[in-house]
């Protein structure tokens, strides 16, 4: 037996009291850890969206209730299909202030090779594209060949697998790093592949608004990079107000602002929630420890009687609290990690915002900080108790009844 | 009394797995009446849930072979974590219901089954060791 | 070696008839020497326990000093006084004084455990046996009767191997046989181990074991003829 064994015994021999405290501290660390990881994931989702969009303006047909439709494709991975005349591309490219313009054609497939999942297939013009290919290049050094596709990180196929789309075997040659956005569920192919897929679909009797005949005449979106020195606002306004084009424009900057507003909303809700949990827990902990002070007065008087110093009694209380916080803290973090990492996709779709889990190092840091925060809270709540119990009036407590 | 807590936990988790796989945790919403792989993964979880439920019932109401039943329940739990995703491939998009809801929920429930069964086994063995 | 009280008194603030304080112990001096058993008798409320607490370093006197050899107990810092009490002064208090969550054996070894020390082998077992509670060694203290707790507290004090052993009603909850057994164990401590033994009691039988006997009346110490 050693002096260190006493706090341990006090905890294990009062399992009810100990578990109640452990559960309470588990709530503390759970709220802090889970809340922080969610907010951090939203922040890194926003950063990746900023990095990934790569264009200043995105032009889509006015018919497509544009902004929401398009943002849903981008943010939530819903599938969408809207088209405009391909001839607009050259006109847009020639417009004043436009440096680069690259077309994309969207195809929402009815069925891929698994259950009723639809795929968002996006055809890119590999000569003009400047937004997707830099990301494909991270994974594959060459252009996409016939039927070859690059997949977002949320598609479970890896490089070397094949996706079956309308009975066509499409080899996956590149896998994009995660963005936390709807782009992660997209499948990218060349414009030529897009045409092949449409022909295959028609053979199967599936018809889309875009067909193999008009595939070269329609596009879904034009990604525009504004020339240096030109104003993005002005270019956007002039594109949108063109009398015959009937297009809508999405400014990526305003989209990012929308997202970051959403993020700020979620972040403040999370903060309020954490604050409420902590305030409530702190009050409960204070009450519990105050009750313990009374219950344990005699025990501490006995310890004083046999020669325990005040200091060692304070240490005893703080050690017990520390052990409780450590156990509760780890439990809370484990539960938080299980829920957050297992249900990432669900959280992402529930929030409707770009959501990208940060790397392991950052998460470990958050876990350690949550643990420290919980321990600090426990120490604060028990400090008063430790003070009072270390100053028990040994004499009078020992004579108080039996 | 104490001996019944863990079997009861296993039974409740099993019912959640079996009922959940068909209702609120079901893998797909069928729009067109066709069944994909995830649907069959859900059916497999129904079977697995029933199996562990039987183990829970045996642990509750039938004396004997408790250690063996706990081991079997833990093994079934491991199987349960592997069925959706590893043994039966699910949808390729992670936002789909089968991968956003069914798979994580089943993994969680099965891990809890494994934990409960492991705890039960440890208690059972310790008790066995005390009797000479 | 001796335990010496020099003109100690204890007053409590309390509004009584004439004064605004109550004098629990009037100024008195007392010297306890090793090898002899000192018995203090008196009615309840006469100040016996207050005197014992002051002698054992648990209660600061209003005036006067308590010296262990030449060390003024109440001139020490808390850490030093605590260590001194742990190593040299053992007290058997009134009432329940076991830690409920621990077993009898753990309670008995607790004073040593506090400072990370081991009890000499067999010491604890020896006293549990001598006091007739060896069968309870692994019983949780919260399940014990008053008499069993009392003997546990005595065993704990004995395992401390103190220079001074101060007992407050050590035979309080005991039957006649155990009373005699306990008193003779305490007397052995003085005679064989040459320790200071101080017993506060209202049990007249204790006088037969005493070398020195006093009584208290309303806070004043009087010799018993």
Nearest residue on chain C to A11, alpha-carbon basis: C101
Selected residues 66-95 of chain C with any CB under 8 Å from a CB in chain A? 78-79, 82-87, 90-91, 93-95
CB-closest option in A76, A156, A346 to B92: A156
* Contact criterion met (CB < 8 Å) for A305 and C91: yes
CA distance B38 to chain A (A): 7
* Cβ-contact C141, C99 below 8 angstroms: yes
Q: Report residues of chain C scoring pLDDT below 70.
A: 16, 225
The mean per-residue pLDDT over the stretch A236-260 comes to: 80
How many C-beta neighbours within 10 Å does residue A241 have? 10
Q: CA separation (Å) from C225 to C44, C206, C215, C222? A: 21, 15, 10, 9
Q: If you ran DSSP here, which 8-state letter would residue C13 be given?
A: E
Beta partners for residue A238, in sequence order: none
Instruction: Label residue A248 left, alpha or beta by phi (over 0 means left) and psi (-120 to 50 means alpha).
Output: beta
DSSP A54: -
Count of all residues that appear for chain B in the document: 132
pLDDT digits (tens, 9 = 90+) for C155-183: 999 998 899 999 998 888 888 888 888 89
Nearest by CB to B34, which of A116, A157, A343?
A116
pTM over 0.90? The answer is no
Q: Which positions in chain C touch A302 (Cβ < 8 Å)?
A: 97-99
CB A60 within 8 A of CB A70: yes
pLDDT for res C218: 87
pLDDT of residue B110: 94
Q: What is the pLDDT of residues B88-99, one digit of tens each?
A: 877 766 777 888
Token pair listed for A121: 């297939």
Residue A252: CB partners within 8 Å, gap ≥ 6? A53, A55, A56, A57, A58
Chains that touch C (3 or more CB pairs under 8 A): A
Q: Is the pLDDT of residue A187 over 90?
A: no
Q: Do B91 and A76 touch (CB under 8 A)?
A: no
C5-20 pLDDT, tens digit each: 999 999 888 776 777 7
Interface contact flag, A394 C58, Cβ < 8 Å: yes
Helix count and strand count (H, E) for chain C = 6, 10
* pLDDT value of position A116: 43
d(CA A22, nearest CA chain C) in Å: 19
Measured between alpha carbons, how far is B86 from B107 in angstroms, rounded to an integer? Answer: 11
Computed over every residue of chain C, the mean pLDDT equals 88
Give per-residue pLDDT as tens, A191-223: 888 888 888 877 777 666 667 677 777 888 888
Distance, in angstroms, between C221 CA and closest chain A CA? 20
Asked if the Cβ–Cβ distance from C101 to A6 is below 8 Å, we say no
Helix, strand or coil, per DSSP, at residue C170? coil
Biggest alpha carbon–alpha carbon distance for chain A: 101
Write out chain A residues lying below 8 Å of B91, CB-based: 114-115, 117, 156
Burial grade of A130 (CB within 10 A; 0-12, 13-18, 19 or more): middle
Instruction: Please provide the size of chain A in residues.
Output: 402
Question: Are C88 and C164 contacting, i.e. CB atoms less than 8 angstroms apart?
Answer: yes
C38: helix, strand or coil: strand
CB contacts of A305 in chain C (<8 Å) are: 58, 91, 93, 97
Tokens of A372: 């420290």
Q: Which of A13, A398, A401 comes nearest C97 by C-beta? A: A398
Best residue of C12, C87, C102, C114 to probe chain A, by most A CBs closer than 10 Å: C114
A-contacting residues in C 35-64 (Cβ below 8 Å): 49-50, 53, 58-59
B55 — pLDDT class (breaks 50, 70, 90)? very high
Neighboring chain C residues of A400 at a CB cutoff of 8 Å: 95
Residue C188 to chain A, least CA–CA distance (Å): 22
- Residue A2's pLDDT is 47
Measured between alpha carbons, how far is residue B114 from residues A198, B4, B77, B80, C146 in Å? 48, 16, 5, 10, 47
Where is mean pLDDT largest: A72-86, A129-143, B20-34? A129-143
Long-range Cβ pairs for the range A360-363 (8 Å, 24+): A362/A40, A363/A37, A363/A337
pLDDT at A14 over 80: yes
């Amino acid at each position: 037996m050693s002096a260190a064994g006493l706090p341990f015994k006090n905890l294990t021999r009062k399992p009810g009291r100990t578990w109640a405290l452990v559960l309470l501290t588990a709530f503390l660390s759970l709220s802090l850890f889970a809340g922080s990881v969610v907010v951090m994931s939203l922040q890194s989702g926003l950063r990746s969206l900023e990095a990934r969009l790569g264009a200043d303006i995105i032009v889509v047909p006015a018919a497509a209730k544009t902004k929401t439709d398009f943002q849903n494709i981008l943010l939530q991975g819903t599938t969408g299909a809207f088209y405009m005349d391909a001839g607009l591309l050259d006109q847009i490219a020639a417009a004043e202030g436009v440096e680069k313009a690259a077309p994309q054609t969207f195809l929402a497939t009815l069925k891929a090779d698994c259950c009723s999942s639809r795929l968002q297939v996006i055809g890119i013009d590999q000569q003009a594209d400047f937004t997707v290919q830099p990301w494909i290049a991270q994974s594959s050094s060459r252009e996409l060949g016939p039927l070859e596709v690059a997949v977002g990180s949320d598609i479970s196929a890896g490089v070397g697998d094949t996706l079956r789309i309308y009975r066509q075997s499409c080899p996956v040659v590149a896998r994009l790093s995660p963005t936390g956005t709807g782009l992660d569920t997209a499948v990218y192919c060349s414009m030529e592949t897009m045409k092949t897929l449409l022909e295959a679909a028609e053979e199967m009797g599936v018809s889309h608004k875009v067909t193999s005949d008009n595939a070269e005449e329609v596009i879904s979106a034009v990604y525009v990079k504004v020339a240096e020195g030109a104003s993005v606002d002005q270019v956007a306004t002039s594109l949108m107000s063109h009398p015959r084009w009937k297009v809508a424009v999405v400014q990526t900057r305003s989209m990012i602002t929308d997202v970051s507003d959403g993020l700020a909303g979620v972040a403040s809700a999370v903060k309020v929630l954490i604050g409420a949990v902590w305030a409530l827990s702190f009050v409960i902990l204070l009450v519990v420890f105050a009750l313990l002070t009374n219950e344990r007065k005699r025990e501490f008087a006995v310890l004083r009687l046999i020669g325990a110093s005040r200091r060692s009694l304070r240490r005893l209380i703080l050690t017990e609290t520390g052990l409780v916080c450590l156990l509760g803290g780890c439990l809370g973090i484990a539960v938080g990690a299980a829920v957050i990492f297992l249900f990432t996709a669900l959280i992402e779709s529930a929030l409707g915002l770009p959501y990208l889990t940060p790397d392991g190092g950052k998460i470990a840091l958050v876990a350690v900080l949550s643990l420290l925060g919980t321990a600090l809270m426990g120490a604060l709540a028990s400090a008063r108790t430790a003070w009072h119990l270390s100053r028990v009036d040994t004499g009078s407590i020992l004579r108080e009844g039996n | 009394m104490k001996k019944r807590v863990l079997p009861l936990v296993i039974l409740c988790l099993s019912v959640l797995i079996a009922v959940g796989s068909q209702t609120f945790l079901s893998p797909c919403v069928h729009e067109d009446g066709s069944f994909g792989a995830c649907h069959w993964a859900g059916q497999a979880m129904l079977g697995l849930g029933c199996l562990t439920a039987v183990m829970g019932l045996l642990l509750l109401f039938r004396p004997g072979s408790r250690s063996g039943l706990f081991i079997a329940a833990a093994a079934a739990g491991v199987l349960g974590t592997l069925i959706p995703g590893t043994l039966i491939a699910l949808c390729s998009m992670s936002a789909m219901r089968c991968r956003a809801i069914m798979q994580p929920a089943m993994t969680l429930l099965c891990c809890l089954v494994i934990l409960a069964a492991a705890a039960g086994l440890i208690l059972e063995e310790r008790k066995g060791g005390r009797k000479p | 070696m001796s335990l010496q009280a020099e003109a100690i008194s204890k007053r409590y603030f309390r509004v009584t008839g004439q004064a605004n304080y109550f004098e629990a112990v009037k100024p008195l001096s007392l010297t306890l020497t090793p090898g002899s058993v000192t018995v203090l008798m008196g009615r309840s409320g006469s100040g016996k326990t207050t005197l014992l607490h002051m002698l054992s370093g648990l209660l600061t006197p209003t005036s006067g000093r308590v010296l262990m050899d030449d060390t003024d107990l109440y001139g020490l810092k808390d850490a030093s006084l605590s260590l001194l009490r742990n190593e040299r002064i053992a007290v058997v208090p009134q009432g329940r004084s076991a830690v409920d969550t621990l077993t009898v054996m753990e309670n008995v070894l607790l004073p040593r455990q506090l400072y990370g020390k081991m009890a000499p082998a067999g010491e604890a077992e020896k006293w549990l046996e001598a006091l007739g509670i060896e069968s309870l060694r692994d019983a949780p203290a919260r399940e014990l009767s008053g008499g069993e707790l009392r003997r546990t507290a005595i065993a704990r004090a004995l395992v401390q191997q103190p220079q001074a052993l101060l007992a407050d009603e050590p035979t309080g909850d005991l039957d006649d046989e155990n009373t005699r057994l306990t008193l003779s164990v305490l007397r052995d401590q003085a005679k064989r181990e040459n320790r200071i033994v101080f017993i506060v009691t209202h049990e007249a039988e204790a006088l037969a074991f005493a070398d020195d006997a006093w009584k208290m009346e309303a806070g004043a110490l009087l010799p018993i003829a």
